[in-house]
Chains A and B, each alone.
Chain A
Amino acid sequence: MLEIQNLTKVYGKLTAVDDLSLRLDGGGIMGFIGPNGAGKTTTIRVVATLLKPTSGTAFVDGIDVVLHPEEIRPLIGYMPDFFGLYDNVKVWEYLDFFAAAYRIPKSKRRSTIDDVLELTDLAGKWDSFVSELSRGMQQRLCLAKTLLHDPKLLLLDEPASGLDPRARIEIKELLKELGNMGKTILISSHILPELADFCNKVAIIEQGKLVVSGDVEEIMEQCRGGVVLKIGLIDRHEEAILFLQGLETVGEVKTENGLVAASYTGKPGEQHSVLEALATNGFKVKSFVEAEVDLEDIFLKVTRGAVA
């Protein structure tokens, strides 16, 4: 569906995107993750045919975005990170304008607009002025506009930025629904946990270079390295740390939020030996869990070097 090949974009002396290659098959939802200035927006704008790459190219459905931008445009729905809205225009007029611009036949416009309003939960707002909507509603309206022509590939550039937690959840629900509808989605963000539960692919980009990409689970596996045990104790923290450091199956030990975090280096499936050792030595263990490694940890782990 989407294939980016050796994409490079240079602004003067700055290489914003450096030899980036990516693949996203039909129906996939890819989280495109990187810190500020990593080159996410630049990459997405190239795919959206709004920016000419310095070298390399991208294909949507096998069509070259550099050579045939006109053929790409009907296939994609691009939602920019900063979007403009017309003032003095009502919600339905805004959508009607874009529907006409997408050459949706007049007879179908009404039902299409109703559909996207329904989907984005804006049906009650159809007669309001666009400028009077809240930021979250405007964001959803922009998404509704993006969906009008039923694009195969959605390019969403930080659709949740600037929203309060509640609005974020709403956008997230909406994206999940779009995923269920079978759309291919590339969604950029620097806020990771948000993407974790509905993306099935991740690509992490840093200073224009692709750091890692693939299935969410695979990457988690790759990055896991060791299991971290989080142990809650009623007292004797310092002693427990010294004790754990003495154990053969435990590597680094530190304190995190009042819990002792010990990285487990022993055989998989035998973590309970650590608990047993603690108990037999009279430590009062309150809790004992294996820490979940989530996307955020991976992100921090992968990008640590460059950010620091």
Chain B
Amino acid sequence: MSIAQGARERVITTIGESVVDNPVMAKELRTRMRGYKAFITMGGYTLLLSGALFIAYISVWVMYGSAAGGGWIANQRIGQQLFATLTWTQVALLTLIAPSLTSGLISQEISRKTMEMLALTRLTAGKIVVGNHLAGLLYMLMLLVCSLPLAGVSFMFGGISPAEVVVTYALLASYAFLLCAVGVFWSSFFSRTAAASGISQITAIGIFLATLSVGGAGLISMMYRSGTNDPFSLALLNPGWAPYGALLTGPVSGIRIPIALAAFVLHSMSGLLLLLVASTHVRYQRVNRALSIRALFLITTLLFIWLGLGGFLETVAGRSPALADLAVFGSMVMVAACLMAAGFATGEPTGQRRYLSIRSAFRNNLSGGFVFTLLWALAAYAAMGFCFVAATNNPTGAGFWLAYLKIGLVTLTVVAGVSAVGVLASSIAKSRGVAAATVILCTVLLFLGYVLVLNCYQPGFSNPHSPVWNLAVLWPMTPVTYLAEGWSRAWPKTSLPLGASWLFVSCIYTVACLIALNLAPRAAEKFGGVREE
């Protein structure tokens, strides 16, 4: 027994060490492979999958079996059905298992007081993060490998090609990569393992559900809509959908992109981004990765916008983009940038007024976040514009582009205002979390609070002349909604002309931004603000 066990340990460890010389990974793998625990997990995993396959087989047999004359029916439908069942079960298991493999590792080092011992060695923060991530990922990949024989079973029935199996497994692997990174990411933020695990699990389930619905909508629209028969470019972000179209290509801005590749690249890039951020949070180590984190963040999000919006305009929308789309996506960029400010524009050393220097946007983990948020909003909004231009049926006309420019101005000034609040909050609050929460609260109030104000207006019931409606001028969405014709809404009377609301809103938020930025250094002097520990 101990010989076999020792051999297994040695084999796995050697494989691990030859992939990358990382002591953290070697140690984690070694302890994880010890004893029967790993063996039981592997057995349980394949058993579960076999059970799912068996049930699927029975149900398919009941449905189609009699038509085929009963007995051993080997038609393509069964092959596809079985492979889909296998993949969905694996995605569900992966969503539950992958983050939990890594979410405890870094937080445990802290609560067990071993992190300080690691910090004094020559292990870098990057190696600690990568080692923990790889330990989880390799274990997960081992489980995936265990399921290959079962994939072979469904393969026997036909209906799926070897290429489809390979692509599906590649997507499962990249999905596991992302989810393990989610675990490492949260683990680097919390010293309590329970908190890290809980949030990792919630995040993983959130990713699962979001990608599930995006893929569902993207594929269903392909199947049932007349006109184009193209899948949405982001349909395979959830690899559970892979058996339905692993090898398909989808149009993005007039180019055809393999949708599996899009998902694979986005999984990998976002996973990498999470790992990079995690490595700046490893205790007792100073790492400055502002440049790589911010650059990767920018590239990943722009790619996401391009693939998502570019694909959407060509497939799901199924019509030439209208002004209403501008309102929807413009406001998405706005909300995203405001929420982003919570992460980037807080904790900034307010003593140094480098708010507007572009170089500082990539220089330090904390400084330059304000500029970076603005840069990001600008780039994202420009990417959005590009998707509209490059769409096959692109909407031209002076009206469209004038609205685009006005909404752009509103977007930038609103984002500047909210980020400046982040800067101000972090020069008052002691902890960065409080500052970030302020920014998020501010964003929620701005976008939700005023939705209520306008939605209270019921033509025929409300008094259209009430001065309350003037508050609408504070709502960033007013000009966006108003400028996007086809966004039908009955407007109350306001003292300020709604057609010029873009100008008012921009001015209000610019002034708010300037006030907040000017108050920040004084507030920092008085309250101290967030300090790097």
Interface positions of A (Cβ within 8 A of B)? 48-50, 52, 69, 73-74, 76, 78, 80, 82-86, 88-89, 93, 97-98, 100-103, 145, 149
CA of A103 to CA of B22 in the docked complex: distance in angstroms? 10
Q: Is B34 interfacial (CB-CB < 8 Å)?
A: yes
CA of A102 to CA of B24 in the docked complex: distance in angstroms? 12
Q: Is B59 interfacial (CB-CB < 8 Å)?
A: no
Chain B: minimal CB distance from A51 (Å): 9
Residues in A with CB closer than 8 Å to B31 are 86, 88-89
Q: Are B26 and A84 neighbours in the complex by a CB distance under 8 Å?
A: no
17 residue pairs A–B, Cβ–Cβ below 8 Å: A50-B284, A73-B121, A82-B113, A83-B113, A84-B112, A85-B114, A86-B27, A86-B31, A88-B31, A88-B34, A89-B27, A97-B23, A98-B121, A100-B21, A101-B23, A102-B121, A102-B122
Chain B: minimal CB distance from A140 (Å): 15
Residues in B with CB closer than 8 Å to A83 are 113-114, 117
Q: Are B121 and A84 neighbours in the complex by a CB distance under 8 Å?
A: no
Residues in A with CB closer than 8 Å to B24 are 101
Chain A: minimal CB distance from B27 (Å): 5
Q: Are B114 and A74 neighbours in the complex by a CB distance under 8 Å?
A: no
Q: Are A145 and B117 neighbours in the complex by a CB distance under 8 Å?
A: yes
Q: Is B30 interfacial (CB-CB < 8 Å)?
A: yes
Q: Considering the complex, which residues of chain B in the window 268-290 have a beta carbon less than 8 Å from any beta carbon of chain A?
A: 284, 286
Residues in B with CB closer than 8 Å to A98 are 117, 121
Q: Is B118 interfacial (CB-CB < 8 Å)?
A: yes
Residue in A52, A80, A101, A103 whose CB lies within 8 Å of B118: A101
Q: Check A76/B23 contact, CB under 8 A, given A84-B113, A86-B31, A88-B31.
A: no
Q: Check A73/B120 contact, CB under 8 A, given A80-B113, A84-B112.
A: yes
CA of A126 to CA of B49 in the docked complex: distance in angstroms? 41
Q: Check A76/B117 contact, CB under 8 A, given A50-B284, A93-B27, A97-B26.
A: no
Q: Are B27 and A76 neighbours in the complex by a CB distance under 8 Å?
A: no
Residue in A74, A80, A82 whose CB lies within 8 Å of B122: A74
Chain A: minimal CB distance from B107 (Å): 13
CA of A304 to CA of B112 in the docked complex: distance in angstroms? 37
**Could you say which interface size class chain B belongs to?**
20 to 34
Q: Is B356 interfacial (CB-CB < 8 Å)?
A: no
Q: Are B122 and A103 neighbours in the complex by a CB distance under 8 Å?
A: yes
CA of A32 to CA of B417 in the docked complex: distance in angstroms? 54
Closest to A78 in B: B120
CA of A86 to CA of B113 in the docked complex: distance in angstroms? 10
Q: Are A101 and B121 neighbours in the complex by a CB distance under 8 Å?
A: yes
Q: Are B120 and A49 neighbours in the complex by a CB distance under 8 Å?
A: yes
Chain A: minimal CB distance from B468 (Å): 47
Residues in B with CB closer than 8 Å to A84 are 112-114, 117
Chain A: minimal CB distance from B284 (Å): 6
CA of A290 to CA of B325 in the docked complex: distance in angstroms? 98
Closest to B118 in A: A101
Q: Check A50/B116 contact, CB under 8 A, given A86-B31, A97-B27.
A: yes
CA of A61 to CA of B11 in the docked complex: distance in angstroms? 43
Chain A: minimal CB distance from B494 (Å): 51
Per CB-CB distance, the 6 closest pairs between chain A and chain B, nearest first, are A100-B23, A101-B121, A84-B112, A84-B113, A84-B114, A88-B31
Beyond A86-B114, A89-B27, 19 additional contacts (C-beta under 8 Å) are: A48-B120, A52-B533, A73-B121, A73-B122, A74-B122, A76-B120, A80-B116, A80-B117, A83-B113, A84-B113, A85-B114, A86-B27, A86-B31, A88-B31, A89-B30, A93-B27, A93-B30, A100-B21, A101-B121
Q: Are B26 and A100 neighbours in the complex by a CB distance under 8 Å?
A: yes
Chain A: minimal CB distance from B20 (Å): 12
Q: Is B56 interfacial (CB-CB < 8 Å)?
A: no
CA of A82 to CA of B119 in the docked complex: distance in angstroms? 16
Chain B: minimal CB distance from A69 (Å): 8
Q: Is B166 interfacial (CB-CB < 8 Å)?
A: no
Q: Is B123 interfacial (CB-CB < 8 Å)?
A: yes
Closest to B119 in A: A50
Chain B: minimal CB distance from A90 (Å): 9
Residues in B with CB closer than 8 Å to A76 are 120
One digit per residue, 1 when the CB lies within 8 angstroms of any chain A CB and 0 when it does not, for chain B 20-42 equals 01011011001100100000000
One digit per residue, 1 when the CB lies within 8 angstroms of any chain A CB and 0 when it does not, for chain B 97-138 equals 000000000000000111011111111000000000000000
